[in-house]
Chains A and B, each alone.
Chain A
Amino acid sequence: MTDIQKLAGTVDNAAREARAIAQLSTGTTLTLAQAYAIQKASIGLRLARGERRVGVKMGFTNRAKAVQMGVHDIVCGRLTDSMVIEDGGTVDFARYVHPRIEPEVAFLLKAPLEGSVTPAQALAAVEAIAPAMELIDSRYENFKFSLEDVVADNASSSGFVVGPWHRPDVDFSNLGIVLSFDGRPVQIGSSAAILGHPLRSLVAAARMSTAGGERLEAGWIVMAGSATTAEPLQRGLFVQTEIQTLGRVAFTVGT
């Protein structure tokens, strides 16, 4: 029998101590449902320590990223307030195992979303959209994992930074995106890479959250998933993402 609570403690400890662990799937056989249960239980440990739930993240929503990681399904993870990186702020490199950064689009919800929703219903629940970045940091050795492993590890979610909010009344289906390190572009892409349209990611988030026993709440942030492959972070980097029309978001990695 799979001990959900014990495995949740394992990934939670690894995240807290910024320590790489072996893949869970090497020691036990996990179903996807069990993996999501581990994720939920591990976030439960965080909430019990006083962290506050602030939204969800979507993962593997673009093909290049899925190919990079050898994973072929969309996944979702849970965001808490402890993962917030201030726009323009500094992150502490020592908090992470082997952090990588991805440029994304973020949604802020003004109304709950659950179950099967149309793109129009999803858009009607959006208060604002923003340029954003997600700092992912698999707790597994060498950033290697199965689909079940990464789901159990909260979809590698570790931190996120959101730039200025913008009313969602622009066409955001194909916005150019430039991720730069110290002012030099390292990834160039388009919001179209996110499932063909970032709104499809929000539709998927509503469906998957409901399947996981919760709903997307008003006031939550939904990170739509990366528009490019992820770039490894290094100490001292100035990291910036610019998105056509939406503006920029940035932070510095501490030395």
Chain B
Amino acid sequence: MPPHDAAILAAAERIRTAHETNQPTPPVRDQLPPGDVAAAYAVQKVNTDHWLDARRRLVGRKIGLTSKVVQKQLGVDSPDFGMLFADMALADGEDVALGRVMQPKVEAEVALVMERDLAVPDPTLTELISAVAYAVPAIEIVGSRIANWDIKLVDTIADNASSGLFVLGTTPVGLAGLDLRLAGMVMERRGDQVSIGAGAACLGNPLNAALWLARTMVRVGSPLRAGDIVMTGALGPMVTVVPGDVIEVRIGGLGSVRTAFSA
């Protein structure tokens, strides 16, 4: 048993309590060995196992820290991942109470849905593409259980990669002939452009992010399975939302998706 087990359990409990009571917690990084990514993922896994025991259903993964700008802000050169549970999924355009996510912000992303398991060691890009059923445009409503988003890498990893809720578009598009790298992205709030980007902003190509995730998931013994949703990462800057906001995202070649916030 690693010596820091108690610290990991304590950090996990703090985040879980914040989640359940809707009261943010100070950063957990001081509780963990400095910069210890493995310990941070161990914290995340404690809570994932807890929630799976509580009958939350795992439906996919999210990839975070896929933009060069955000990586620079946090001083990291690698993305991270978190778990997507079924109860985090919203319908296209569905009203969501702002309080459902702590300190919410929205990001526009490409979501992939797996057609087949991808469990071989070090899957290749072609194996990934062959295993993907389709892509849809998506909005991720990220949130942080850490007070004031005062996060370092270990905080966000421990906090399930700052995941909150997600919304998927409803018109699946196959990857054949789809140029995700140069897919344009525009996010609008009442017709105002609040975030603009393209596929290239996500690790150079959303498929690069998905491949990183697929390989990482095999390595940690939790490979992507048929039906899994993969939120590949933001295509432009994240945006803070307030009650009353309706956010629409359009992604070139993929169509559009919306989410609405009530008080």
Contacts and interface: CB of A to CB of B under 8 A. Distances in A.
Given A176-B252, A178-B200, A192 B184 contact: yes
Contact of A190 (B179, B185, B191): B185
A192 B182 contact: no
A185 interface: yes
A188 B250 CA distance: 16
B185 A176 contact: yes
A176 B198 contact: yes
Contact of B184 (A63, A64, A174): A174
Contacts of A243: 182
A237 B31 CA distance: 47
Interface string B237-263: 000000000000011110000000000
Contacts of A175: 182, 184, 252
A192 B197 contact: no
B148 interface: no
A243 B181 CA distance: 10
Given A243-B182, A244-B184, A63 B197 contact: no
A193 interface: yes
Interface string A64-92: 10000000000000000000000000000
Nearest to A196: B193
Given A175-B184, A176-B185, A190 B252 contact: yes
B200 A193 contact: no
Given A185-B200, A189-B197, A190-B197, A176 B183 contact: yes
Nearest to B186: A192
A121 B193 CA distance: 25
A245 B182 CA distance: 8
B24 interface: no
B201 A188 contact: yes
Interface string B115-126: 000000000000
A177 interface: yes
Contacts of B181: 176, 178
Contacts of B179: 176, 244-245
Contacts of A189: 184, 196-198
Given A188-B198, A190-B185, A174 B252 contact: yes
B164 interface: no
A130 to B, nearest CB: 15
A191 interface: yes
A174 B250 contact: yes
A201 to B, nearest CB: 14
B199 interface: yes
Given A196-B193, A244-B252, A177 B198 contact: yes
Contacts of A177: 182, 184, 198
Interface string A186-223: 00111111001000000000000000000000000000
B186 A176 contact: no
A244 B182 contact: yes
Interface in A226-253: 242-245
Contact of A178 (B182, B186, B251, B253): B182
Given A174-B186, A244-B179, A188 B197 contact: yes
Contacts of A244: 179, 182-184, 198, 252-253
A21 to B, nearest CB: 34
A176 B108 CA distance: 14
Interface string B192-215: 010011111100100000000000
A3 B105 CA distance: 53
B193 A193 contact: yes
Contacts of A242: 182
Contacts of A245: 179, 182
B252 A193 contact: no
B184 A190 contact: yes
B183 A192 contact: no
Nearest to B68: A185
A111 B204 CA distance: 40
A188 B195 CA distance: 11
Contacts of A193: 186, 193, 196
B196 A178 contact: no
The 8 closest A-B pairs by CB, nearest first: A176-B198, A190-B184, A244-B182, A192-B186, A176-B182, A176-B184, A174-B184, A188-B201
Given A176-B252, A193-B193, A244-B179, 11 more contacts: A63-B193, A174-B184, A175-B182, A175-B184, A178-B181, A188-B197, A192-B186, A193-B186, A244-B183, A244-B252, A245-B179
